[in-house]
Amino acid sequence: MEMIYRLFAFFTLLLCCCPASYSQSTSRIDTLARASFRFEMHRTKGDSLLRTLDTLAISFDDSTYTKLKGVTTFRGGPLRNRPSYGRIAKRPDSLVVVWSYATGADAKWGGGAGWTGQPTIVQWPDSLKMLMNIQASFKTDTAFTEIIHPSLDGKIYFLDLKTGKPTRKPIDIKNPIKGSPSIDPRGYPLLYCGQGIPNTTEFGFRIFSLINQERLFYLNGRDAYAHRTWGAFDGSPLIHGKKDELVVGGENGVFYSVNLHTTWKPDSARIAIAPLVTRYRYKTSAAQLQGMENSVVAYRDHVYFADNNGYIQSVNLTTMKPDWILSNHDDTDATMVMEVQDQVPYLYTGSEVDIQGAKGYSFIKKIDASNGSTIWENKIPCFTVRGPHPVNGGMLSTPVVGKEKGKDVLVCSVSRYETINKGLLVAFDKTSGKIVWQNTLDNYAWSSPLDIYDAEGNMYIFQADSRGYVMLFDGLSGKQIYKKKIADLFEASPVSFNNKIIIASRPRQIFCLEIR
């Protein structure tokens, strides 16, 4: 699916109400037969640099992914369950706009950020900060924290968390960016960013030096090896530091594993890469809707992703072959989240209402990622807007895996519930899949919920919606704490750094909110 937005899609006429009903099933094995799929792998030719299978073996560990202070990739790390950094001091009661920054605007897509649109945020080590082309006035600030925010206007902005002022000139790729970037988790001055829409002949994925903002690498999304020609990259890549390996999925239906061959010389402020690309593709006669819009999840030597068919795959990075494939019934664009319990990895995911038609169900699953078995499944009735400019319902946002005092719940935001404009914020018991609490939202939300914790480990949920409202909820009870309209439309996902939340709206604003 080529995700098409309409800024004011939420003004669509209301459809008739759908009764609030749920259906749940529990543990079963329902993986698809791999014989019905065709899988292939292709490596870049590089003479003596050509890799062998055993050099592909890597092992992702969320606990050691990065030592940088901040959020360096979509939802924080390989498990995609850490969108917040730091804590707040006490129970919050309000949100205050500290500053806002106006981006430029593309003639068709506007500016600000759309789906998924999460920024990165990092407090650079002093030694690295001094080497980069950050404005001199910020280099003397020991608490300097930088926001890196791509926009639909085709630029990547660099802003100071404290003031909202630009810290360096934006990078202009001249093509709208819908997805979320990544910073190299090793503290190398590298920025990774995909592209959402082709305004020019280029359509792909880029790597930039953060020393001087030079483009170091371009991966063409219109890949001759792909079964699909749509070249967008909305997913945020992961980087395995020791193996110097990048992993990312494309909307062309190809999963990429890229050995970067990085040379980093801090003494001379020189960074260089010589990427070698391994491609994994697949197809089946059963469905043709290829493409991954979500950010891949990684655990040890496996990656997990979903596609526009609703197929969820577990791919072994050592063999570059799938261990299991599971159907989630419909297009699944939202990034999955993982939690490891007693050394067993569990995935949580939810589908859209797209292939099903004008109405259907969002299927929300807990999966044992070691074998692909479904532990539990809920289905929630939702609508969708179809036609030449579809705006889907169901789950478009990434769930919250509760932690600390919220460790027993999974919090999900579901769009177009009950009516075409409403949404549902719902907490499930992780073990049973039963609903713990739920709130019907006046407006649906593609923006992902954000979990925030106070000094005592209490969990709070921040949610932004499609009419520009920002909200706070008690994560244990679901009780609404605060609600206020500050923008026209939120589709992008937020991050937090201590008591500050960064989130972009459409058509043009990036906001910094203080939690009070």
* pLDDT tens, position by position, 133-170: 999 999 999 999 999 999 999 999 999 999 999 999 99
Residue 101 DSSP SS3: strand
Average pLDDT over residues 455-469: 98
pLDDT-derived band of residue 30, with 50, 70 and 90 as boundaries?
Answer: low
How do residues 359-378 score in pLDDT, each as one tens digit? 999 999 999 999 999 999 99
pLDDT score of 53 more than 60:
no
Give, in order, the Cα–Cα distances in Å from 251 to each of 107, 134, 187, 195, 234: 24, 33, 28, 10, 8
Average pLDDT over residues 277-281: 95
- In degrees and rounded to multiples of 5, residue 406 shows phi and psi of -100, 20
pLDDT score of 41 more than 80:
yes
DSSP states of 327-393:
E-SS---SPPEEEEETTEEEEEEE-EESTT-SEEEEEEEEEETTTTEEEEEEEEEEE-B-SSS-B-E
pLDDT score of 12 more than 60:
no
Least confident range of 52-56, 59-63, 376-380:
52-56
Tokens representing 237?
A: 């890549």
DSSP states of 270-319:
EEE---EEEEEEEEETTB------SPPEEEBTEEEEE-TT-EEEEEETTT
pLDDT score of 51 more than 80:
no
pLDDT of residue 32: 75
pLDDT of residue 291: 93
pLDDT of residue 44: 67
pLDDT score of 426 more than 70:
yes
Separation of alpha carbons 273 and 276, rounded Å: 10
Average pLDDT over residues 31-35: 72
pLDDT of residue 24: 65
The answer to whether 5 and 333 are in contact (CB under 8 A) is: no
pLDDT score of 260 more than 90:
yes
Separation of alpha carbons 61 and 119, rounded Å: 22
Give how far the C-alpha of residue 15 lies from the chain's centroid of Cα atoms, to the nearest Å. Answer: 30
pLDDT-derived band of residue 11, with 50, 70 and 90 as boundaries?
Answer: very low
State the pairing for strand pair 495-497/84-85: parallel
How do residues 100-133 score in pLDDT, each as one tens digit? 999 999 999 999 999 999 999 999 999 999 999 9
Q: Where are the beta strands (DSSP E) in 369-516?
A: 373-383, 393-394, 400-401, 409-415, 423-429, 435-441, 450-453, 459-464, 469-474, 480-485, 495-497, 500-504, 509-515
Q: Please choose, from the candidates 223, 248, 244, the residue with its C-alpha nearest in 3D space to the C-alpha of residue 235.
A: 248
Task: Tell me what percent of the residues of the chain surpass a pLDDT of 90.
Answer: 86
Tokens representing 95?
A: 């949100």
pLDDT of residue 10: 33
How do residues 302-315 score in pLDDT, each as one tens digit? 999 999 999 999 99
pLDDT-derived band of residue 57, with 50, 70 and 90 as boundaries?
Answer: low
Beta partners for 176?
none
pLDDT of residue 20: 42
Average pLDDT over residues 500-505: 98
Q: What is the mean pLDDT of the chain?
A: 92
Sequence-distant (≥ 6) Cβ neighbours of residue 198 within 8 angstroms: 175, 231
Average pLDDT over residues 392-419: 98
Average pLDDT over residues 281-305: 90
pLDDT-derived band of residue 23, with 50, 70 and 90 as boundaries?
Answer: low
Tokens representing 32?
A: 């698809």
Average pLDDT over residues 218-231: 95
pLDDT of residue 38: 84
Is residue 61 classed exposed, middle or buried when 0-12, 13-18 and 19+ CB atoms within 10 A define those classes? middle
Separation of alpha carbons 331 and 337, rounded Å: 17
pLDDT of residue 43: 75
CB neighbours of residue 58 within 10 Å: 20
pLDDT score of 31 more than 80:
no
pLDDT of residue 288: 73
pLDDT score of 413 more than 70:
yes
pLDDT score of 238 more than 90:
yes
